[in-house]
Amino acid sequence: MSEVRFDDRVAIVTGAGGGLGREHALLLARRGAKVLVNDFGGEADGSGGSATPAKRVAAEIEKAGGVAAANTETVDTPAGGRAIVEQAMDLWGRVDVLVNNAGIAGGGPFHEIPPERVAKMIGVHVEGSYNVGRAAWPVMLERGYGRVVNTSSGSVFGTPGTIHYVTAKAGIIGFTRALAQEGAPAGIKVNAIMPVAYSRLTAAVPAEDFKAWLREHYGPERVAPFVAWLAHEDVPCTGELFTVGGGRAARVFLGVAPGHTASPATPEAYRDHFDEVMSPEGYAIPASAMEEVALNSGEIGWKGAAPPDMHKGADAG
Protein backbone atom coordinates (compact mmCIF):
# COMPACT_ATOMS: atom_id res chain seq x y z
CA MET A 1 0.00 0.00 0.00
CA SER A 2 1.18 3.52 -0.75
CA GLU A 3 2.13 5.91 2.03
CA VAL A 4 -0.33 8.62 3.06
CA ARG A 5 1.39 11.74 1.73
CA PHE A 6 0.69 15.48 1.49
CA ASP A 7 3.26 16.54 -1.09
CA ASP A 8 2.34 19.89 -2.67
CA ARG A 9 -0.46 20.36 -0.13
CA VAL A 10 -0.76 23.35 2.19
CA ALA A 11 -2.16 22.84 5.68
CA ILE A 12 -3.22 25.28 8.37
CA VAL A 13 -3.22 23.93 11.92
CA THR A 14 -4.60 26.23 14.61
CA GLY A 15 -3.47 25.95 18.19
CA ALA A 16 -0.36 24.18 16.93
CA GLY A 17 2.13 25.61 19.42
CA GLY A 18 1.91 22.56 21.69
CA GLY A 19 -0.01 19.41 22.56
CA LEU A 20 -2.32 17.96 19.94
CA GLY A 21 -1.87 20.77 17.44
CA ARG A 22 1.90 20.45 17.52
CA GLU A 23 1.65 16.73 16.79
CA HIS A 24 -0.77 17.34 13.90
CA ALA A 25 1.56 19.95 12.40
CA LEU A 26 4.69 17.82 12.80
CA LEU A 27 3.12 14.76 11.19
CA LEU A 28 1.61 16.65 8.27
CA ALA A 29 4.97 18.29 7.63
CA ARG A 30 6.81 14.95 7.81
CA ARG A 31 4.41 13.64 5.20
CA GLY A 32 5.19 16.48 2.81
CA ALA A 33 2.74 19.30 3.61
CA LYS A 34 3.70 22.93 3.90
CA VAL A 35 2.29 23.87 7.31
CA LEU A 36 1.17 27.18 8.72
CA VAL A 37 1.61 26.79 12.46
CA ASN A 38 -0.95 29.03 14.13
CA ASP A 39 -0.94 29.69 17.85
CA PHE A 40 -1.87 32.83 19.76
CA GLY A 41 0.38 31.66 22.56
CA GLY A 42 -2.02 32.40 25.38
CA GLU A 43 -2.54 30.62 28.67
CA ALA A 44 -4.90 27.67 28.98
CA ASP A 45 -7.74 30.06 29.82
CA GLY A 46 -7.04 32.21 26.75
CA SER A 47 -5.32 35.07 28.53
CA GLY A 48 -1.95 36.51 27.57
CA GLY A 49 -0.26 35.81 24.27
CA SER A 50 3.20 34.97 22.96
CA ALA A 51 4.83 34.30 19.60
CA THR A 52 7.16 31.71 21.10
CA PRO A 53 5.03 28.52 20.80
CA ALA A 54 4.20 28.94 17.10
CA LYS A 55 7.74 29.98 16.20
CA ARG A 56 9.22 27.07 18.14
CA VAL A 57 7.11 24.46 16.32
CA ALA A 58 7.71 26.05 12.90
CA ALA A 59 11.45 26.01 13.60
CA GLU A 60 11.21 22.38 14.68
CA ILE A 61 9.60 21.47 11.37
CA GLU A 62 12.18 23.38 9.36
CA LYS A 63 15.06 21.82 11.29
CA ALA A 64 13.69 18.39 10.33
CA GLY A 65 13.71 19.40 6.66
CA GLY A 66 10.07 20.41 6.35
CA VAL A 67 8.41 23.64 5.25
CA ALA A 68 6.56 25.75 7.79
CA ALA A 69 5.78 29.25 8.94
CA ALA A 70 4.54 30.63 12.23
CA ASN A 71 1.34 32.61 12.70
CA THR A 72 0.25 34.21 15.99
CA GLU A 73 -3.18 35.58 15.11
CA THR A 74 -6.11 34.85 17.39
CA VAL A 75 -8.83 32.71 15.85
CA ASP A 76 -11.72 34.24 17.75
CA THR A 77 -12.19 37.27 15.49
CA PRO A 78 -13.08 37.38 11.79
CA ALA A 79 -10.01 39.54 11.18
CA GLY A 80 -7.80 36.94 12.82
CA GLY A 81 -9.29 34.17 10.71
CA ARG A 82 -8.71 36.15 7.53
CA ALA A 83 -5.13 36.98 8.49
CA ILE A 84 -4.32 33.31 9.08
CA VAL A 85 -5.58 32.26 5.67
CA GLU A 86 -4.07 35.28 3.93
CA GLN A 87 -0.62 34.39 5.27
CA ALA A 88 -0.88 30.86 3.87
CA MET A 89 -2.05 32.25 0.54
CA ASP A 90 0.73 34.84 0.41
CA LEU A 91 3.36 32.20 1.14
CA TRP A 92 2.12 29.23 -0.86
CA GLY A 93 -0.89 30.32 -2.93
CA ARG A 94 -3.35 27.69 -1.71
CA VAL A 95 -5.01 26.07 1.30
CA ASP A 96 -5.82 22.38 1.03
CA VAL A 97 -6.16 21.32 4.66
CA LEU A 98 -7.53 23.10 7.72
CA VAL A 99 -7.24 21.53 11.14
CA ASN A 100 -9.27 23.55 13.63
CA ASN A 101 -7.55 22.63 16.88
CA ALA A 102 -7.24 25.89 18.84
CA GLY A 103 -8.93 25.73 22.22
CA ILE A 104 -9.00 26.96 25.79
CA ALA A 105 -10.14 25.41 29.05
CA GLY A 106 -11.96 26.49 32.17
CA GLY A 107 -14.43 25.33 34.74
CA GLY A 108 -16.71 26.16 37.59
CA PRO A 109 -20.31 25.65 38.72
CA PHE A 110 -22.87 26.53 36.05
CA HIS A 111 -24.35 29.45 38.00
CA GLU A 112 -20.94 30.94 38.82
CA ILE A 113 -19.28 31.04 35.38
CA PRO A 114 -19.31 34.73 34.34
CA PRO A 115 -20.79 35.66 30.97
CA GLU A 116 -17.46 36.91 29.65
CA ARG A 117 -15.89 33.48 30.22
CA VAL A 118 -18.77 31.83 28.37
CA ALA A 119 -18.33 34.26 25.47
CA LYS A 120 -14.59 33.61 25.36
CA MET A 121 -15.07 29.84 25.36
CA ILE A 122 -17.63 29.94 22.56
CA GLY A 123 -15.48 32.51 20.76
CA VAL A 124 -12.35 30.37 20.61
CA HIS A 125 -13.90 26.97 19.95
CA VAL A 126 -16.97 27.63 17.83
CA GLU A 127 -16.36 31.08 16.38
CA GLY A 128 -12.68 30.28 15.98
CA SER A 129 -13.46 27.26 13.81
CA TYR A 130 -16.05 29.33 11.96
CA ASN A 131 -13.74 32.31 11.40
CA VAL A 132 -10.80 30.39 9.97
CA GLY A 133 -13.10 28.05 8.08
CA ARG A 134 -15.02 30.91 6.52
CA ALA A 135 -11.81 32.57 5.36
CA ALA A 136 -10.51 29.34 3.83
CA TRP A 137 -13.82 28.32 2.28
CA PRO A 138 -13.70 30.50 -0.88
CA VAL A 139 -10.18 29.23 -1.59
CA MET A 140 -11.33 25.63 -1.31
CA LEU A 141 -14.47 26.29 -3.37
CA GLU A 142 -12.42 27.83 -6.16
CA ARG A 143 -10.08 24.83 -6.28
CA GLY A 144 -12.89 22.30 -5.90
CA TYR A 145 -11.00 20.62 -3.10
CA GLY A 146 -10.52 20.85 0.64
CA ARG A 147 -10.23 18.87 3.83
CA VAL A 148 -11.37 20.29 7.19
CA VAL A 149 -10.85 18.51 10.51
CA ASN A 150 -12.60 20.03 13.50
CA THR A 151 -12.00 19.26 17.17
CA SER A 152 -14.90 18.38 19.44
CA SER A 153 -14.62 16.49 22.73
CA GLY A 154 -15.89 13.42 24.52
CA SER A 155 -17.09 15.82 27.19
CA VAL A 156 -20.27 16.20 25.11
CA PHE A 157 -21.42 12.88 26.56
CA GLY A 158 -21.87 14.81 29.79
CA THR A 159 -19.34 16.39 32.10
CA PRO A 160 -20.12 18.54 35.15
CA GLY A 161 -18.16 21.59 36.18
CA THR A 162 -17.23 22.92 32.74
CA ILE A 163 -20.54 23.48 31.03
CA HIS A 164 -19.38 26.32 28.78
CA TYR A 165 -16.60 24.10 27.40
CA VAL A 166 -18.99 21.21 26.80
CA THR A 167 -21.49 23.52 25.13
CA ALA A 168 -18.81 24.89 22.81
CA LYS A 169 -17.60 21.41 21.88
CA ALA A 170 -21.16 20.30 21.17
CA GLY A 171 -21.48 23.26 18.82
CA ILE A 172 -18.55 21.91 16.82
CA ILE A 173 -20.57 18.79 16.03
CA GLY A 174 -23.39 20.81 14.46
CA PHE A 175 -20.88 22.99 12.64
CA THR A 176 -19.19 19.91 11.18
CA ARG A 177 -22.41 18.26 10.05
CA ALA A 178 -23.76 21.38 8.38
CA LEU A 179 -20.48 22.35 6.72
CA ALA A 180 -20.05 18.84 5.34
CA GLN A 181 -23.41 19.16 3.59
CA GLU A 182 -22.38 22.46 2.01
CA GLY A 183 -18.96 21.24 0.99
CA ALA A 184 -19.91 17.91 -0.55
CA PRO A 185 -20.88 19.22 -4.01
CA ALA A 186 -17.56 21.11 -4.22
CA GLY A 187 -15.27 18.24 -3.24
CA ILE A 188 -14.70 19.54 0.30
CA LYS A 189 -14.86 17.00 3.10
CA VAL A 190 -15.39 18.00 6.72
CA ASN A 191 -15.05 15.65 9.70
CA ALA A 192 -14.43 16.01 13.43
CA ILE A 193 -12.57 14.23 16.18
CA MET A 194 -13.19 13.82 19.88
CA PRO A 195 -9.60 13.34 21.09
CA VAL A 196 -8.68 11.44 24.22
CA ALA A 197 -5.20 12.72 25.03
CA TYR A 198 -3.02 14.29 27.65
CA SER A 199 -2.56 17.96 26.81
CA ARG A 200 -2.35 21.34 28.45
CA LEU A 201 -6.14 21.45 28.60
CA THR A 202 -6.60 18.03 30.19
CA ALA A 203 -3.77 18.88 32.57
CA ALA A 204 -6.26 21.26 34.19
CA VAL A 205 -8.37 18.29 35.35
CA PRO A 206 -8.00 18.12 39.15
CA ALA A 207 -7.91 14.28 39.42
CA GLU A 208 -4.20 13.39 39.63
CA ASP A 209 -4.70 9.65 39.04
CA PHE A 210 -6.67 10.37 35.88
CA LYS A 211 -4.00 12.75 34.58
CA ALA A 212 -1.25 10.22 35.25
CA TRP A 213 -3.21 7.58 33.35
CA LEU A 214 -3.65 9.94 30.40
CA ARG A 215 0.05 10.78 30.34
CA GLU A 216 1.01 7.12 30.26
CA HIS A 217 -1.48 5.78 27.73
CA TYR A 218 -2.86 8.70 25.75
CA GLY A 219 -0.09 10.89 24.41
CA PRO A 220 -1.16 13.45 21.78
CA GLU A 221 1.12 11.82 19.21
CA ARG A 222 -1.33 8.89 19.13
CA VAL A 223 -4.13 11.11 17.85
CA ALA A 224 -2.28 12.83 14.99
CA PRO A 225 -2.14 9.82 12.61
CA PHE A 226 -5.93 9.61 12.43
CA VAL A 227 -6.18 13.37 11.90
CA ALA A 228 -3.74 13.01 9.02
CA TRP A 229 -5.96 10.35 7.47
CA LEU A 230 -9.04 12.57 7.77
CA ALA A 231 -7.03 15.36 6.12
CA HIS A 232 -5.96 13.20 3.18
CA GLU A 233 -7.38 13.33 -0.33
CA ASP A 234 -8.44 9.65 -0.16
CA VAL A 235 -10.53 9.86 3.01
CA PRO A 236 -13.92 8.40 2.03
CA CYS A 237 -16.26 10.11 4.50
CA THR A 238 -17.62 13.53 5.33
CA GLY A 239 -19.77 14.84 8.16
CA GLU A 240 -18.54 12.14 10.54
CA LEU A 241 -17.40 12.25 14.15
CA PHE A 242 -14.73 10.01 15.66
CA THR A 243 -13.36 9.32 19.10
CA VAL A 244 -9.57 9.03 18.85
CA GLY A 245 -6.95 8.22 21.45
CA GLY A 246 -4.38 5.70 22.58
CA GLY A 247 -4.10 4.31 19.05
CA ARG A 248 -7.86 3.62 18.79
CA ALA A 249 -10.28 5.38 16.46
CA ALA A 250 -14.01 4.70 16.36
CA ARG A 251 -17.06 6.27 14.82
CA VAL A 252 -19.41 8.26 17.03
CA PHE A 253 -22.80 8.86 15.51
CA LEU A 254 -26.15 10.56 15.94
CA GLY A 255 -28.74 7.83 15.76
CA VAL A 256 -32.53 7.85 15.76
CA ALA A 257 -34.62 5.01 17.15
CA PRO A 258 -38.16 4.13 16.00
CA GLY A 259 -39.69 5.22 19.30
CA HIS A 260 -43.44 5.21 19.75
CA THR A 261 -46.12 6.89 17.68
CA ALA A 262 -49.13 7.87 19.76
CA SER A 263 -52.55 8.27 18.20
CA PRO A 264 -54.02 10.34 19.60
CA ALA A 265 -50.94 12.06 21.03
CA THR A 266 -51.54 12.63 24.74
CA PRO A 267 -49.20 12.92 27.72
CA GLU A 268 -50.67 9.68 29.05
CA ALA A 269 -49.93 7.82 25.80
CA TYR A 270 -46.25 8.76 25.97
CA ARG A 271 -46.13 7.98 29.69
CA ASP A 272 -47.52 4.51 29.09
CA HIS A 273 -45.10 3.78 26.21
CA PHE A 274 -42.01 5.59 27.46
CA ASP A 275 -39.96 2.40 27.38
CA GLU A 276 -40.52 2.30 23.60
CA VAL A 277 -39.58 5.98 23.29
CA MET A 278 -36.32 5.26 25.11
CA SER A 279 -35.44 1.98 23.40
CA PRO A 280 -32.45 2.16 20.98
CA GLU A 281 -33.49 -1.05 19.23
CA GLY A 282 -33.75 -0.67 15.45
CA TYR A 283 -31.93 2.66 15.35
CA ALA A 284 -30.92 4.35 12.10
CA ILE A 285 -28.13 6.84 11.37
CA PRO A 286 -29.45 9.72 9.25
CA ALA A 287 -26.86 11.45 7.08
CA SER A 288 -28.77 14.73 7.04
CA ALA A 289 -31.68 16.59 8.60
CA MET A 290 -33.88 15.64 5.65
CA GLU A 291 -33.06 11.97 6.15
CA GLU A 292 -34.12 12.27 9.78
CA VAL A 293 -37.45 13.73 8.67
CA ALA A 294 -37.80 10.98 6.08
CA LEU A 295 -37.38 8.35 8.78
CA ASN A 296 -40.54 9.73 10.37
CA SER A 297 -42.39 10.09 7.11
CA GLY A 298 -44.08 6.70 7.16
CA GLU A 299 -45.59 7.47 10.54
CA ILE A 300 -46.73 11.07 10.15
CA GLY A 301 -48.54 11.21 6.84
CA TRP A 302 -46.14 10.71 3.92
CA LYS A 303 -46.49 6.90 3.99
CA GLY A 304 -42.80 6.26 3.42
CA ALA A 305 -42.38 8.76 0.59
CA ALA A 306 -39.70 11.43 0.81
CA PRO A 307 -41.01 14.61 2.46
CA PRO A 308 -41.03 17.89 0.54
CA ASP A 309 -37.65 19.57 0.22
CA MET A 310 -37.40 22.06 3.09
CA HIS A 311 -35.01 24.19 1.03
CA LYS A 312 -37.06 24.35 -2.18
CA GLY A 313 -37.97 27.93 -2.97
CA ALA A 314 -35.88 29.31 -0.13
CA ASP A 315 -34.18 31.78 -2.47
CA ALA A 316 -37.32 32.75 -4.33
CA GLY A 317 -38.51 36.32 -4.27
Which residues lie below 8 Å from residue 151, measured CB to CB, with a gap of 6+? 20, 99, 100, 101, 103, 129, 172, 192, 193, 195
Domain spans in the chain, listed from the N-terminal domain onward: 10-252
> How far lies 75's CA from each of 32, 143, 144, in Å?
25, 24, 24
Dist. CA 291–CA 285, nearest whole Å: 9
Predicted local distance difference test score (pLDDT) of residue 72: 98
Closest to 4 (Cα-Cα) out of 42, 31, 34, 35: 31
Strands 10-13 and 97-100: parallel
The per-residue pLDDT for 299 is 47
Give the pLDDT score at 44: 84
Could you tell me the pTM of the whole model? 0.92
CATH number of 10-252: 3.40.50.720
The predicted pLDDT at position 92 comes to 98
pLDDT of residue 244: 98
Question: How much is the pLDDT for 298?
Answer: 57
In this predicted structure, what is the pLDDT of residue 37? 98
Q: Which alpha helices (DSSP H) does the chain contain, by range?
A: 19-30, 52-63, 78-92, 115-122, 128-143, 163-183, 208-217, 224-230, 267-272, 274-278, 289-297
**b/e per residue, 65-90, with b = 16+ CB within 10 A?**
ebebbbbbbbbbeeebbbbbbebbbe
Q: At what angle do helices 163-183 and 128-143 cross, to 10 degrees?
A: 10
Q: What does each of the 317 residues of the chain score in pLDDT, given as a tens digit?
A: 799 999 999 999 999 999 999 999 999 999 999 999 999 998 888 888 899 999 999 999 999 999 999 999 999 999 999 999 999 999 999 999 999 999 999 999 999 999 999 999 999 999 999 999 999 999 999 999 999 999 999 999 999 999 999 999 999 999 999 999 999 999 999 999 999 998 776 776 667 887 788 888 899 999 999 999 999 999 999 999 999 999 999 999 999 998 998 999 999 999 999 999 999 998 889 888 888 888 776 544 334 445 556 555 554 43
**Residue 153 confidence (pLDDT):** 96
Give the pLDDT score at 110: 96
Tell me what pLDDT residue 213 has. 81
Q: Name the region of 94 (left: φ>0; alpha: ψ -120 to 50; beta: rest).
A: beta
Distance CA 262, CA 237 (A): 36
Catalytic (active-site) positions: 165
Query: 234: buried, middle or exposed (CB in 10 Å: 19+, 13-18, 0-12)?
Result: exposed
